[in-house]
């Protein structure tokens, strides 16, 4: 016996992110107490997260809370929590498309979903945003397969392909495809596009911020003047998007776009929002790819793509390329039904499972 409580958990990589996955029934329902649990689990606030499982970066300080859904047509409810590294904050506002690739394998191995022969289709609801995702997990002989020959930029080695097809993905945070009502608005004399597809993002041309757009994430994160300018524009844009004062919040995200250099459709530097992502968020990829197909946006002016019913968009990021398939409406009317779905391939890996130990007194905080 000890003065710590133990909770079952699985530690997984999903896409280019990493974090803990819990069954909802094993955690408190009170959001304030739940936040204390997750801060303790990750070791926040601490820049090293030395006292928990966090990896001292935003992409390695994530939590997925999974449960069997009670909604008709939905298999799994997925609640995402972003645990801030250096502050006592747990943000339940956004979702995470990278960690989403771990949700299917976890659900099968935890007995929440019965595996099918060869591949298992799972309909997942991202509770944070209300979006619906169809995940297809390879399950030869009704067992989750992690090994394979698919390589994604930002992850060493290869893995089995997990297809994530995002549906019902427009306006989850703001209710609108174009929350500022126009493809481009001006903020401090800079053209910006505000789009809400999977994730609300404020995007601009990198050159308007005094950079080429091909810098490394480390170079951009060391440019405090740039980060300050991004935050200033983001806060003003959020008001135009109807999101109010977003100081201290991670939504909307921010992206600086530029011409591709390696055969892609567009280059993106994605900010989370206080730092540049080392690769690219999966949900953010949906939004950037969709912007390339909407006339008049910053992204479409840079990419200059011809739009068809099914569109493959290659987004270059600091460590490689992420490819998205975006289905658009045949009517080409730019409204909430214009973007029908977005699909990406990710890989996942189960790293460890067991129990995590937390202080016994957290329920009293």
Q: Would 248 be classed as within a structural domain?
A: yes
Q: Which pLDDT value is given to residue 2?
A: 83
Q: Is 153 exposed, middle or buried (0-12, 13-18, 19+ CB in 10 A)?
A: middle
Q: Is residue 12 part of a domain?
A: yes
Rg (CA), the chain: 20
In a domain, 178, yes or no: no
Q: What is the dihedral of CA 176, 182, 183, 185, to 10 degrees?
A: -120
pLDDT at 11 over 90: yes
Whether 1 has a pLDDT exceeding 80, the answer reads no
Q: What is the DSSP letter of 26?
A: G
Render pLDDT for 181-220 as a digit per residue (tens, 0 to 9).
Answer: 999 999 999 999 999 999 999 999 999 999 999 999 999 9
Is there a domain that residue 255 lies in? Answer: yes
CA distance 297 to 287: 12
Alpha carbon distance 19, 329 (integer Å): 36
pLDDT at 153: 85
- Domain range for residue 318? 185-343
Q: Are 28 and 124 found together in one domain?
A: yes
Regarding whether 147 and 53 lie in a shared domain, the answer is yes
Name every residue whose Cβ is closer than 8 Å to that of residue 69 and which is 6 or more positions away in sequence. 75, 76, 77, 125
Q: Are 276 and 270 in contact (CB under 8 A)?
A: yes
Asked whether 98 and 346 are in contact (CB, 8 A), the reply is yes
Residues 135, 249 share a domain: no
Q: Are residues 198 and 70 in the same domain?
A: no
Tokens of 180: 């500022």
Distance, in Å, from the CA atom of 200 to the CA atom of 125, rounded to the nearest integer, reads 18
CA-CA distance, 336 to 173, in Å (whole number)? 13
pLDDT one-digit tens code per residue, 343-364: 999 999 999 999 999 999 888 6
Looking at residue 227, what is its pLDDT? 98
> Do 353 and 337 belong together in one domain?
no
- Are 189 and 329 found together in one domain? yes
Q: Give the Cα separation of 289 and 165 in Å (integer).
A: 14
Do 72 and 152 belong together in one domain? Answer: yes
Q: How far apart are CA 113 and CA 280, in angstroms?
A: 29
Residues 6+ positions from 100 with CB-CB distance below 8 Å: 14, 15, 78, 124, 126, 133, 135, 164, 282, 346
Contact of 197 with 210, CB cutoff 8 Å: no
What does the pLDDT read at residue 331? 85
Q: Tens digit of pLDDT for each residue in 113-129? A: 999 999 999 999 999 98
356: domain CATH number? 3.10.310.10
Confidence at residue 10, expressed as pLDDT on a 0 to 100 scale: 98
Answer yes or no: is 172 within a domain. no
Helices (H), the chain: 31-42, 97-109, 217-221, 224-240, 282-291, 298-303
Q: Is the peptide bond before 273 cis (omega within 30 degrees of 0)?
A: yes
250 with 106, same domain?
no
> Residue 336 and residue 68: Cα distance in Å, rounded?
29
d(CA 183, CA 125): 28
Q: Check whether 237 has a pLDDT greater than 90.
A: yes
Question: Does residue 360 fall inside a structural domain?
Answer: yes
Please report the pLDDT score of residue 231 as a whole number.
98
Cα–Cα nearest to 113, from 163, 165, 78, 81: 78
229 with 285, same domain: the answer is yes
Task: Check whether residue 329 and residue 353 sit in a common domain.
Answer: no
Q: Residue 46: helix, strand or coil by DSSP?
A: coil
Summarize the confidence of residues 296-324 as an average pLDDT: 94
| Model confidence pLDDT, tens digit, residues 41-63 | 999 999 999 999 999 999 999 99
Inter-residue contact 101 to 346 (CB < 8 Å):
yes
* 306 falls within a domain: yes
Residue 174: inside a domain, yes or no?
no
Q: pLDDT class for 294, splitting at 50, 70, 90? A: very high
State percent of the chain over pLDDT 70: 99
Q: Answer whether 196's CB lies under 8 Å from 186's CB.
A: no
User: In angstroms, rounded to a whole number, what is the distance separating the alpha carbons of residues 161 and 143?
Assistant: 14
Q: Are residues 278 and 149 in the same domain?
A: no
* 196 and 85 in a common domain: no
Of 168 and 17, the structure prediction assigns the larger pLDDT to 17
pLDDT at 15: 95
> How many structural domains compose the chain?
2
3-state class of 144 per DSSP? coil
Q: How far apart are CA 216 and CA 232, in angstroms?
A: 22
Q: pLDDT digit string (tens) for 158-174?
A: 999 999 998 888 998 99
Residue 365 has pLDDT above 60, yes or no: no
The answer to whether residue 221 scores a pLDDT higher than 70 is: yes
pLDDT digits (tens, 9 = 90+) for 250-272: 899 999 999 999 999 999 999 99
Q: Give the pLDDT score at 220.
A: 98
Choice among 242-246, 301-305, 329-333 with the minimum mean pLDDT? 329-333
> What share of the chain in percent tops pLDDT 90?
90
């Amino acid at each position: 016996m000890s003065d710590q409580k133990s909770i079952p958990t699985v530690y997984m990589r999903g896409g280019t992110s990493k974090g803990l996955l819990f069954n909802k029934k094993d955690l408190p329902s009170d959001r304030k107490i739940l936040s204390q649990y997750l801060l303790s689990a990750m070791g926040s606030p601490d820049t090293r997260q030395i006292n928990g499982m966090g990896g001292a970066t935003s992409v390695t300080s994530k939590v997925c809370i999974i449960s069997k859904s009670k909604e008709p047509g939905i298999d799994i409810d997925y609640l995402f929590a972003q645990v801030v590294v250096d502050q006592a904050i747990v943000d339940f506002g956004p979702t995470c498309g990278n960690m989403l690739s771990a949700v299917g394998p976890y659900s099968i191995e935890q007995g929440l979903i019965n595996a099918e022969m060869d591949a298992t289709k799972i309909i997942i609801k991202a509770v944070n945003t209300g979006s619906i995702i169809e995940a297809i997990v390879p399950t030869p002989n009704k067992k989750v397969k992690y090994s394979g020959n698919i390589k994604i930029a930002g992850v060493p080695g290869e893995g089995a392909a997990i297809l994530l097809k995002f549906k019902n993905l427009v306006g989850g945070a703001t209710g609108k495809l174009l929350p500022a009502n126009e493809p481009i608005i001006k903020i401090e004399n800079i053209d910006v596009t505000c789009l809400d597809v999977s994730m609300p993002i404020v995007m601009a041309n990198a050159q308007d911020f005094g950079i080429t757009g091909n810098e490394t994430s480390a170079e951009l994160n060391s440019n405090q003047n740039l980060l300050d300018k991004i935050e200033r524009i983001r806060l003003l844009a959020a008001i135009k998007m109807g999101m109010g004062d977003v100081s201290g919040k991670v939504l909307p995200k921010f992206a600086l776009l530029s011409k591709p250099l390696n055969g892609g459709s567009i280059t993106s530097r994605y900010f989370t929002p206080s730092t540049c992502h080392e690769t690219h968020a999966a949900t953010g990829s949906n939004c950037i790819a969709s912007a390339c197909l909407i006339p008049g946006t910053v992204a479409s002016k840079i990419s200059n793509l011809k739009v068809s019913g099914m569109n493959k968009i290659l987004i270059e990021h600091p460590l490689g390329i992420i490819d998205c398939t975006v289905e658009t409406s045949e009517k080409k009317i730019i409204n909430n039904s214009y973007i029908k779905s977005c699909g990406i391939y990710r890989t996942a890996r189960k790293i460890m499972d067991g129990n995590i130990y937390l202080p016994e007194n957290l329920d009293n905080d």
